[in-house]
Amino acid sequence: MEIVSLTAERVSRWNAYVDAHPQGRIYHRTEWMNITERAFGKKPLYRLVLDGEQITGILPVIRFHTFLVGKQLISLPYVNYGGPLWSNEQAKDLILQEIENLRIATASEAVEIRYDQPDAFPFAVKTSKVTFLLDLPDDAEVLWKGFKAKLRSQIRRPIKEEMYAKSGGLELLDDFYYVFCRNMRHLGTPVYGKNIFRTILQTLPERAFLTAVYTRDHKPVAAAFLLGYKDTLEIPWASSLRKYNRFSPNMLLYWEVLKQAIEKGYRVFDFGRGTKEGGTYRFKKQWGGREVQLYWYYALAPGESLPEVNKENPKYQLAIKIWQKLPLWFTNTLGPGIVKNLP
């Protein structure tokens, strides 16, 4: 048994392994590696464990050395899940050793692994993030009847204002981005470039789509980016315009997304990560999904402490307040270059 680099001739076997593995995610597949390299400009360091010609483990890692976060290797940046997969303990042992080898070889301060299983690695771990998973019935009407009266009333609110929803692909990208970039500026967060979302939609046309909510005069006021894989539909990015919050367009947005998930045959809806007890946490909890703990593990270099690259870190508060007051054209111009360097 040996651990080797991913090469072009091994791509199809890598993807087949991910598809067959119970913890395999769309982010493990090589299409996502290509997206990360093309859209974000980050170098992949992908390894796989071979037992003869059979793959028994994979290790997807992105080199993330930037002036904003220092020198890290991340599995995987930008998304909620990643981390190695293995089929037996011998493969896991080789992967653990390779994690340390890569950290040393790249002079990295830490290797971050984003995972959803407890006690998976003998490393320091953060547990501040959770997600909610909602099991989906075969019929949207069954889901609707299972909602509490208050939730149904909140969904009806934007409909009474003659708001409506549409789902699609690239043809909705401008509408999605119109809402997304304004919401990110409001949050004080640098925005991804539109080209990143275009790249995902073009690379994964059967797995990625957009949903948007519009006012009666056809203005987009809430929007979501969706990714489907296996039996799960995930919502990694969603936004709404603060000006319209009193009409609750985000409630209609999520209801439309859930209906789309059922129509497309998905069995589980993943609401995406949030901080415990935060505003998005409470929003997601009301839909009745089960709370799932996320675990971010860190293989640290000697003397290094856990990195704190998040907006809750006090040292970023001044920058956030300044960013919120900058003109939109400026944040849209400068933001994409900054956010590529934030995992």
- Say whether both 262 and 245 belong to one domain: yes
Which residue segment(s) compose the domain that 147 sits in? 130-292
For the chain, what is the total number of helices (H) and then of strands (E)? 11, 18
Could you give the C-alpha distances from 62 to 8, 66, 112, 144, in angstroms and in order?
17, 12, 10, 41
- The reply to whether 273 and 137 lie within a common domain is yes
| One domain for residues 137 and 73 | no
Question: Which CATH number belongs to the domain containing residue 29 in this structure?
Answer: 3.40.630.30
Q: Are 13 and 21 in contact (CB under 8 A)?
A: no
10-27 as b/e: b if 16+ CB within 10 A: bbeebbebbeebeebbbb
* Peptide bond connecting 76 to the previous residue in cis, omega within 30 degrees of 0: yes
**Please, is 325 exposed, middle or buried when counting C-beta atoms within 10 Å of its C-beta (0-12, 13-18, 19+)?**
exposed
Q: Are strands 129-135 and 274-275 parallel, antiparallel or unpaired?
A: antiparallel
> pTM higher than 0.85 for the full model?
yes
Question: Residues 141, 178: one domain?
Answer: yes
Tell whether 271 and 255 lie within a shared domain: yes
Q: Is 313 within the bounds of a domain? A: no
Residue 149 and residue 282 in one domain: yes
Sequential pLDDT tens for the chain (343 residues): 999 999 999 999 999 999 999 999 999 999 999 999 988 888 899 999 999 989 999 999 999 888 777 899 999 999 999 999 999 999 999 999 999 999 999 999 999 999 999 999 999 999 989 999 999 999 999 999 999 999 999 999 999 999 999 999 999 999 999 999 988 877 777 888 999 999 999 999 999 999 999 999 999 999 999 999 999 999 999 999 999 999 999 999 999 999 999 999 999 999 999 888 777 888 999 999 999 999 999 999 988 888 776 555 555 566 666 666 667 666 767 666 677 777 7
Distance of alpha carbon 259 from alpha carbon 141, whole angstroms = 9
**CB–CB of 209/165 below 8 Å?**
no
For 263-284, write each residue's pLDDT tens digit. Answer: 999 999 999 998 887 778 889 9
Number of domains present in the structure of the chain: 2
86 and 138 fall within a common domain: no
Which helix or strand (DSSP H or E) is residue 292 part of? strand 290-293
Instruction: Tell me: do 143 and 281 sit in the same domain.
Output: yes
- Kindly state whether residues 103 and 170 are assigned to the same domain: no
Same domain, 159 and 266: yes
* Beta-carbon contacts of residue 288 (< 8 Å; ≥ 6 apart): 134, 146, 147, 148
**Residue 330 resides in a domain:** no
